[in-house]
A = this chain, B = another copy of it.
Amino acid sequence: MIRLDATSADFADRFADLVDARRESATDVAQGVATIIGRVRTEGEEALIELTRRLDRFDPVETGWAIDPADCEAAYNALEPGLRTALDLAASRIRAYHERQRPTDTDYRDEAGVRLGARWRPVDAAGLYVPGGRAAYPSSLLMNAIPARVAGVERLAMVTPTPDGQVNHLVLAAAHVAGITEIWRVGGAQAIAALAHGAGPIAPVDVVTGPGNAWVAEAKRQLYGVVGIDMVAGPSEIVVVADARNDPQWIAADLLSQAEHDTVTQSILFTDDAGFADAVTSAVEEQLGTLATGAVARTAWDANGAVIVVPSLAQAMPLVDRLAPEHLQLAVDEPQDLFDQVRHAGSVFLGRHTPEAIGDYVAGPNHVLPTGRRARFASGLSVLDFMKRTSFLGLDETALAELGPATVALAEAEGLPAHARSVALRLRLNR
């Protein structure tokens, strides 16, 4: 953890170092991923079988590729009732929030008599990657599947690794809640390749989303253009802007809720009170000792944590914009003025009673958010990621007479005579 004071002489340099620090793994799996994609494309199911036997240590020919939706329903019914209610609440609130994201079509006639507009349609099929093991979060499944459903996607194909043949019952229960009925026991780059190109029993899809390890992320990157993908995600991060009237324990827990995800995550506190900064730092140390995820959180906090004291919270906001954080908590009584200053952030959590964790699960907005300063140009996952827009126009003879001559002039200037001719013929011009 570093501690910075915005009034110190070396602050500009040290803050710039913090902004530029790269926490993303430089592991180069590009060649290995390219090989897997090539194999799945040419060998199809044979490649999936061989890779799954070797990497996931079970035989998909014996188990079958598909997970039965009845198993998902059974997993849901077997959940502890409080957890079942929690999953249902999360799904229903996520659905309600995303329903407001459905785009509106346009269709109008302008003063030149031209009919113009744009029409949104869902993709035909979306593929959803769900990791196995420690990073298998049922909440992520809901965050990916529900926007696709709200978009109106007819076919949703889920892939998930089942190492040693073992399924994750919490993930199956979430699949049931999300209404997913097509689930394949395959993971890694080979699963992404199968979704993009089709292989064995898996028909190709149009968009692939969902978190995964470095191999999954690289496969999505390489197949971008063959299919649509969500933004490649890096390590998670949180910025908390807090005044001294917060309980230091609350803020410490907020910082640690990011740190416990992974050793490369980042938690940053901005405050206008040096004593409060000390109190939060102490509370972090105290809580680290009692946290089951303490070892991971300790490594992340020590390596990437930062506590920054600023003369006023308003002065923190341009610094926050440079970080363009995935998550931004504004822990003050009246957050609106600070919020109005924010240009770049994935998601903002307003006020003392809005810990980021609420947004991870049940609030409604998507928790798949741009990381690594990508909030400068990228947005969280939404219904729009599962839809596309077709523009259209229609002219009658009168409208063409009005717009035609300019088109002919521009086409000729660009050296495209057939373009000019397609208009000129209709205008009965000699060309």
Contacts and interface: CB of A to CB of B under 8 A. Distances in A.
A354 interface: yes
A364 B426 contact: no
Interface string A385-417: 000111111111101100111110111011111
Contacts of A181: none
B365 A139 contact: no
Given A247-B425, A253-B418, A389-B382, A406 B86 contact: yes
A395 B331 CA distance: 11
Interface residues of A, number: 122
A213 interface: no
Contacts of A407: 86, 357-358, 360-362
A23 interface: no
A87 interface: yes
Contacts of A347: 390-393
Given A124-B343, A206-B376, A392-B348, A293 B415 contact: yes
A245 interface: no
A180 B406 CA distance: 22
Interface string A316-355: 0000000000000000000100010011111111111111
B378 A346 contact: no
Contacts of A97: 116
Contact of A116 (B365, B388, B410): B365
A421 interface: yes
Contacts of A95: none
- 4 interchain residue pairs of minimum CB distance: A350-B394, A228-B377, A86-B406, A365-B391
A49 B85 CA distance: 63
A231 interface: yes
Contacts of A346: 390-391
* Copy count, this protein chain: 2
A64 interface: no
A415 B416 CA distance: 62
Contact of A293 (B90, B114, B416, B422): B416
Given A83-B409, A348-B391, A357-B420, A425 B363 contact: no
Interface of A: 82-83, 85-87, 89-90, 93, 96-97, 100-101, 106, 110, 114-116, 118, 121, 123-124, 134, 137-139, 170, 206-207, 221, 224-225, 227-228, 231-232, 247, 249-250, 253-254, 256-257, 259-261, 287, 291-293, 297, 335, 339, 342-366, 369-370, 372, 374-380, 382, 384, 388-397, 399-400, 403-407, 409-411, 413-423, 425-426
Given A170-B413, A221-B224, A421-B287, A380 B374 contact: no
Specify which of A378, A379, A419 lies most central, judged by the most chain B CB atoms within 10 Å of its CB.
A419
B379 A388 contact: yes
A393 B358 contact: yes
A100 B355 CA distance: 36
A134 B374 CA distance: 35
16 contacts: A86-B405, A86-B409, A101-B118, A224-B232, A225-B372, A250-B422, A253-B421, A257-B422, A287-B421, A291-B417, A349-B393, A357-B420, A358-B403, A358-B404, A361-B406, A363-B403
A386 to B, nearest CB: 9
Contacts of A82: 405, 409
B228 A293 contact: no
A407 B138 CA distance: 12
A392 B61 CA distance: 46
